[in-house]
């Protein structure tokens, strides 16, 4: 229906989504909980452009001249750092939030592409350990399913302080997803609405974190790289404190980063965009003299090889994907549109990961639904997607004359908007103006 031609004007302040949210709140008395990440428009990688080589820079020949993509993570202290073929990793997502088949598919896809995948709240499953060549074990406040045998089986340990979708918030897994297996792994009653703590139970603050990291190193005999993951907020300070605490790798998750279940108000109103977080993190690492020695992994809204290349050009060593990986597995696929509509959503809009009724069989513990996702086929799709991301990033890097993705640099970028120029700390296109920079 053409509302504009009928003279109907939608309020920018009270748009239809806002009106619906008010009506829903009035009807139910509870806030909205959903999955996915921030949906509001934000300055993002799309607001940056590469300056391809021309007279002053030599490009590299596509398909002929090498542009390497590998990355070593955690060589600062660990006896066995991770050596990945590509700088695109799979972010932490729990078994519980996701089906066992989905976790297995993530492991298969990541392994086929030569990269790592990550556990989540709730512990490690044999499916994902078995199919993941490089598996990062998350160490979370809840410690659900946490045990030292799995810690020793992991290839790296990620101490999670927060995530971009909800910095400062704990987690939740609603009762419909707490099946016998999930409950058993988390030592919880079946069907309970599970809360995950927002703070670690046995340490507080950066000085304690130093001691905690020391304990994890002692338990694993200094073999594993230790990551520290933070949701992007006061990123400059958080990264400095993480490095001081002994992190080998710092993971910064911007506010576009996804979640399986969080309050809408939290997702949309807490944290800073990924674009704004990267320069802060890089500045902190540079000031400490450890940029590239302590690796920076960036996540939150990575979708394309251009995003990968831009994040690396700004100073990241690698990126992590979560939402995009689920889409690659089949999330929000049009073939499920009719079922999404039965759930009150539609393909391209579905974000009710908390409900456990995902027609794609990904964010569910329903056996029938979960069986819809073939982990072998899902893994193949993810591997394809990861290869495309890598090739796209290589294409852009070669155009900038770089023989390794890590040779990309901020000088290769310009910004399309004043906001993105200020956040990314690169000049507005066609100018030498970086808003906020001291000349």
Partner 1 sequence: MAALTEAEVVDLAASSVRDLNQALHAPQPAVSWGVLNPRGAHSVACGLKDEVTVDIAGHVGYYCAGMNQHATVTVHGNAGVGVAENMMSGTVRVRGDASQSAGATAHGGLLVIEGNAAARCGISMKGVDIVVGGNVGHMSAFMGQAGRLVVCGDAGDALGDSLYEARIYVKGTVKSLGADCVEKEMRDEHLTELAELLKAAEFDEDPADFRRYGSARQLYHFKVDNSTAY
> CB of residue 33 vs partner 1: minimum separation in angstroms?
8
Cβ–Cβ contacts within 10 Å for residue 394, how many? Answer: 24
For residue 187, the minimal CB distance to partner 1 (Å) is 4
CB 278 within 8 A of CB 315: yes
CB of 175 to partner 1, least distance (A): 6
Task: Considering the complex, state which of residue 221 and residue 368 has its C-beta at the smaller distance from partner 1.
Answer: 221
For partner 1, give the closer residue by CB, 18 or 147.
Answer: 147
Interface contacts to partner 1, rule CB under 8 A: 28-30, 142-143, 146-149, 151, 172, 174-175, 186-189, 192-193, 195, 197, 201-203, 208, 211-212, 214-215, 218-222
Minimum CB–partner distance for residue 201 and partner 1 (Å): 4
Closest separation in Å from C-beta 102 to partner 1: 25
Nearer to partner 1 (CB atom), residue 13 or residue 28: 28
Q: Pick the closer one to partner 1 by CB: 299 or 354.
A: 354
| 178/228 with CB nearer partner 1 | 178
Give the nearest distance from C-beta 264 to partner 1 in angstroms.
14
Q: Please, which residue, 174 or 416, has the CB nearer to partner 1?
A: 174
Output 149 or 368, the one with its CB closest to partner 1.
149
228 CA to centre of own chain:
13
How far CA 278 is from CA of 129, 249, 300, 425, in Å, comes to 30, 14, 11, 10
All residues at 6 or more sequence positions from 185 whose CB lies less than 8 Å from its CB, including other chains:
95, 96, 122, 123, 125, 144, 145
Looking at the Cβ atoms of 175 and 435, the one nearer to partner 1 is: 175
Considering the complex, state which of residue 2 and residue 149 has its C-beta at the smaller distance from partner 1. Answer: 149
Quote the least distance from Cβ 216 to partner 1, whole Å.
9
How far is the CA of 39 from the CAs of 135, 240, 339, 354, 424, in angstroms?
Answer: 29, 29, 22, 17, 20
CB of 146 to partner 1, least distance (A): 6
Beta carbon nearer to partner 1, 146 or 276: 146
Rounded least distance, CB 177 to partner 1, Å = 13
Residue 140: CB minimum distance to partner 1, A: 10
**SS3 per residue for the chain:** CCCHHHCCCCCCCCCHHHHHHHHHHHHHCCCCEEEECCCCCCCCHHHEEECCCCCCCCCCCCCCCCCECCEEECCCCCCCCEEECCCEEECECCECCECHHHHHHHHHHHHHHCCEEECECCECCHHHHHHCCEEEEEECCCCCCCCHHHHHHCCEEEEECCCCCCCCCCEEECHHHCCHHHHHHHCCCCCCCEEECCCCCCCCHHHHHHHHHHHHHHHCCCCCCEEEEEECCCHHHHHHHHHHHCCCEEEEECCCCCEEEEEHHHHHHCCCCHHHHHHHHHHHHHHCCCECCEEEEEECCCCCHHHHHHHHHCCCCEEEECHHHHHHHCCCCHHHHHHHHHCCCCCCCCCCHHHCCCCCCCCCCCHHHHCCCCHHHHHHHHHHHHHHHHHHHHHHHHHCCCCEHHHCCHHHEEECCHHHHHHHCCCECCCCCCCCCCC
Least Å from the CB of residue 193 to partner 1: 5
User: Please, which residue, 138 or 323, has the CB nearer to partner 1?
Assistant: 138
């Amino acid at each position: 229906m053409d509302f504009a031609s009928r003279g109907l004007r939608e309020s920018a302040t009270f748009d239809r989504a806002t009106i619906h949210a008010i009506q829903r709140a009035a009807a139910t008395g509870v806030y909205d909980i959903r999955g996915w990440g921030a949906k509001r428009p934000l300055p993002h990688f799309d607001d940056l452009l590469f300056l391809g080589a021309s007279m002053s820079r030599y490009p590299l020949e596509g398909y002929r001249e090498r542009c390497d993509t590998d990355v070593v993570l955690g060589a600062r202290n660990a006896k066995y750092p991770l050596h990945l073929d590509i700088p695109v990793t799979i972010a932490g997502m729990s078994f519980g939030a996701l089906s066992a088949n989905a976790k297995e598919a993530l492991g298969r896809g990541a392994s086929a592409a030569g990269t790592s995948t990550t556990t989540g709240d709730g512990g490690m499953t044999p499916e994902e350990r078995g199919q993941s060549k490089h598996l990062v074990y998350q160490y979370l406040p809840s410690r659900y399913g946490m045990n030292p045998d799995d810690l020793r089986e992991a290839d790296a340990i990620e101490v999670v302080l927060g995530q971009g979708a909800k910095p400062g918030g704990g987690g939740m897994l609603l009762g419909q997803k707490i099946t016998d297996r999930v409950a058993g792994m988390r030592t919880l009653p079946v069907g309970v609405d599970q809360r995950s703590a927002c703070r670690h139970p046995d340490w507080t603050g950066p000085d304690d974190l130093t001691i905690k990291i020391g304990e994890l190193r002692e338990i694993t005999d200094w073999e594993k790289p230790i990551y520290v993951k933070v949701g992007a907020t006061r990123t400059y300070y958080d990264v400095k404190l993480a490095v001081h605490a002994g992190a080998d790798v710092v993971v910064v998750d911007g506010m576009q980063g996804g979640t399986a279940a969080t309050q809408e108000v939290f997702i949309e109103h807490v944290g800073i965009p990924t674009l704004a977080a990267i320069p802060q993190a890089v500045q902190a690492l540079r000031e400490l003299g450890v940029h590239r020695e302590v690796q920076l992994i960036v996540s939150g809204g990575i979708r394309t090889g251009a995003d990968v290349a831009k994040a690396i050009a700004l100073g990241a060593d690698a990126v992590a994907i979560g939402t995009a990986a689920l889409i690659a597995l089949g999330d929000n696929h049009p073939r499920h549109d009719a079922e999404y509509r039965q759930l009150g959503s539609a393909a391209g809009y579905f974000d009710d990961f908390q409900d456990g009724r995902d027609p794609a069989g990904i964010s569910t513990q329903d056996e029938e639904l979960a069986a819809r996702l073939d982990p072998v086929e899902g893994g193949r799709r993810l591997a394809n997607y990861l290869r495309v991301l890598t090739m796209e990033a290589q294409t852009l890097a070669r155009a900038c004359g770089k023989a390794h993705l890590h040779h990309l640099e901020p000088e290769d970028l310009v910004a399309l908007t004043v906001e993105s120029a200020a956040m990314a700390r690169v000049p507005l296109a066609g100018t030498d103006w970086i808003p906020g920079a001291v000349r």
